[in-house]
Homo-oligomer: A and B are copies of this chain.
Amino acid sequence: MREVAIIGVGMTDFGELWQTPLRDLYAEAVVSCLKDAEIERDQIQSAWMGCMSSGLFNHQEHLASILSDYAGLRGIAATRVESACASGGAAFRAAYLEVASGASDFVIASGVEKMNDGADATFCLATAADQEYEVYHGVTFPGLYAMIATAHMHKHGTTYDMLCQVAVKNHKHGAMNPKAQFPMEITTDTVKNAVRVAEPLGLFDCSPVTDGAAAVLLAPVEVAKALGKPLVTIKGSGQAVDSIALHDRPDPSRIPSVGMAARKAFEHAGVTVRDIDVCEVHDCFTIAELCCLEEIGFYEAGQAGGATLAGETALGGKMPVNTSGGLKSKGHPVGATGIGQIVEIYEQLSGLSGDRQVSGARLGLAQNMGGSGGSSVVHILEVK
């Protein structure tokens, strides 16, 4: 396999962008990515775009055609991939494999989701769970993650203060991110006093409904070296699926697909969790951040909550997590999230993160997850 590097990134603002159609979101991210890479459109050979549910959100499928067309990329190979909220991570892996194979040199990996378009977002998102065995009986995602939280609290003594601190910490990071949907600091009281969504989770335990797009451009390392920029390479890639339904898992306090994907990525990269300097994990709900940190191996089961309260996962702590603001503060346009994470890690490794910079970060990890963990994708990036 050829070594692959990221040579440019682009991202829209994340937020309620009522005036911006799906195709414009994509085009804005791709055009800014190509500008960042200083690569012309006619050099692009292929594109992979992650999107969860443009069919239900926007009554538009066939994204490979419509988005490439609108971005001025007719003639390229292009494919949309979907793995619910892990669609962006899956698109990144597909693009990585294409460049690694030698089939193409310049390949765009992107993600896009237009969630504010009139559709019922809760219904659309629920199609990432088992429609016949979960959703039919009335459960949606806040309910599923509330069950995970309850099981985690029961098994490990995890407290609601620990969950609150995930939200407080991520909003503190997001307040420094000009592209974040909710760039304001909050307090533990904000989280505690918010309306309950599904006990024990309240409004501030939940990531928002968001429009947005992000894109990165991949190329062989030899091409990247000639550009004279920081050389950020893809050192490890891992992906895994598990049972889609929570009730089919032996332990509802755990999300095994995250650990399976992480182990594949670490093995591929030849590094361990202790080598990672900065990471983005899939905090669709506050409890999810704790579960993901434990599954990846940053902490033993039941230990991530205490570490979060102690400030270890905040900027300045020993393992900064979700420096972008995470899904909670930056926003969660579901198909775009996985690429948004890659953008953050790329900028951290390139020293471009401004006030959010993790000093001396050399190795970063991005973990993206679908549904209640039915699928996960983990990538490890390195700056050389």
Contacts and interface: CB of A to CB of B under 8 A. Distances in A.
Per DSSP, chain A at the interface is mixed
Interface of A: 1, 21, 46, 52-53, 55-56, 58-66, 68-69, 73-84, 90, 93-94, 97-98, 100-103, 124, 127-132, 135, 237-245, 248, 260, 264, 370-371, 374-375
Contact of A69 (B56, B62, B66, B243): B243
A55 B62 CA distance: 13
B56 A244 contact: no
A84 B62 contact: yes
Contacts of A374: 62, 64-66, 69
Contact of A241 (B53, B73, B102, B370): B73
17 contacts: A1-B103, A55-B56, A62-B375, A64-B83, A64-B374, A64-B375, A69-B242, A73-B241, A74-B243, A75-B241, A75-B242, A78-B375, A79-B83, A81-B82, A97-B98, A100-B102, A101-B102
Nearest to A68: B241
Kindly report how many copies of this chain are found in the complex they form together. Answer: 2
Contact of A65 (B59, B66, B94, B370): B370
Contacts of A94: 79, 81, 94, 97
A146 to B, nearest CB: 19
Given A46-B239, A75-B260, A77-B241, 5 more contacts: A52-B61, A55-B56, A62-B127, A64-B241, A79-B82
Contact of A127 (B61, B78, B79): B61
Nearest to A47: B241
A295 B69 CA distance: 20
Contact of A59 (B46, B73, B75, B131): B131
Contacts of A60: 127, 131
Nearest to A66: B244
Contacts of A55: 53, 55-56, 124, 127
Contact of A1 (B74, B101, B245): B101
